[in-house]
Amino acid sequence: MKPWLILAATAAVATGLAGTAQAGTPYPIKMKCAVGGESFTHTGTASYSTWGARPDGKPYGSWEFPMPLPECPGNRLVMYRDFTKPELKQLSALLASDAYKALAEDSSYYRAAWLERSLKGGDDTLWLVLQASWQVDGDPVRKARYQREFAQAVEAEPAKPGDTGWMGKLGRAANARRELGEFDAAKADLARLEIDKLVAALPAPPKDGAQEPEAVADQRGVLSYLAKLRDVVNRGDASSEPIDMVPPMVAAHQCVDLEAKGQSNEVCKAERVARSMEMVRKARAERAGAGS
């Protein structure tokens, strides 16, 4: 599912480290290349846990994110989805093209985005480019290129005021601009969304645990995300993990680091974060003791 469609769950539900599967379960998958028929083995996972996400949508969890994509060793076809028969005919020519070969040093998700754009384009291309930016966290130059490409493509789309999917997508673009240090551009993206006007128009939250309509819950979640993002943008924070937009355990690690410097943050006073800080302190003390 695309991250601009799951913002409600990410923003509205308190997430911790609990989960049914606490570690990925890797296993080999025998595969056959969709073009050329080459056999190869891809490592997948039978189960994994997630506990929240960064502002750019990258999950925190017990497996690698974005999920590794199968790639044919010979022709380097990224098998990111099933292809139709007409698409398979197109793929042979695309893989042999100079344009695809020129992407040899790019990430698998970015190459998948190029293939998707060449085959049919649309929202799936943007989703792949966004995931490509997660994939190259350790390469600031490529990450910035992917983020900028994603943001520019989203910003060029026609506005859809009030549409939850469009709002979330433009929010992801604003976040990319923020991480690039382009705060004026991020503010301009967020201004297009009329966040305060839409928040004021929301009905009162349901009482006594009653469930509200899904469309309202989705919009409430997206607006919560956007309001938090606006605060981070306004203070000029370009980090990929701003302390007030990450899960409690991730924030707790930052809080303990601040504590060691004699500093603090309001987020560190929240009950869930404070509890997680105790776990972090204990774990660090145990590691220090084991290493002595």
- In this prediction, residue 18 carries a pLDDT of 36
Same domain, 229 and 279: no
Same domain, 277 and 174: no
Q: What angle do CA 129, 146, 57 make, to 5 degrees?
A: 55
Same domain, 152 and 291: no
- In this prediction, residue 208 carries a pLDDT of 82
Same domain, 164 and 258: no
Same domain, 164 and 225: yes
Among 230, 246, 262, which residue terminates a domain?
Answer: 246
Same domain, 267 and 210: no
Same domain, 251 and 203: no
Phi first, then psi: what are they for 19, rounded to 5°?
180, 155
- In this prediction, residue 22 carries a pLDDT of 53
Same domain, 275 and 164: no
Domain span at residue 268 reads: 247-292
User: Which residues are within 8 A (CB) of 245 and not within 5 positions of it... i.e. 6 or more apart?
Assistant: 54, 55, 228, 229, 232
pTM of the full structure: 0.90
**Length of the chain (residues):** 292
In this structure, what token pair is assigned to residue 56? 């750019």
Partners of 28 in the β-ladder: 43
**Which residue, 223, 235, 133, is CA-closest to 176?**
133
Q: What 3-state DSSP class applies to 1?
A: coil
**Which residue, 15, 8, 26, is CA-closest to 217?**
8
In this structure, what token pair is assigned to residue 53? 């996400």
Same domain, 237 and 252: no
Q: Helix and strand tally (H, E) in the chain?
A: 12, 4
Same domain, 84 and 156: yes
Q: Are strands 59-61 and 50-53 parallel, antiparallel or unpaired?
A: antiparallel
Cβ neighbourhood burial of 45 (10 Å; 0-12, 13-18, 19+): middle
| Mean pLDDT for back-to-back runs of 10 residues, the chain (292 residues) | 50 35 79 97 92 96 95 97 96 97 97 97 93 98 98 96 94 98 98 96 88 92 97 98 97 97 96 96 92 73
Same domain, 95 and 215: yes
- In this prediction, residue 163 carries a pLDDT of 94
Q: How many domains does the structure of the chain reveal?
A: 2
- In this prediction, residue 2 carries a pLDDT of 57
Q: What 3-state DSSP class applies to 177?
A: helix
Residues 226, 231, 235, 239, CA torsion sign: negative
Among 208, 225, 246, which residue terminates a domain?
Answer: 246
Q: Are 103 and 46 in contact (CB under 8 A)?
A: no
Same domain, 159 and 46: yes
Q: Count other Cβ atoms within 10 Å, centred on residue 236.
A: 9
Position 179, amino acid: E
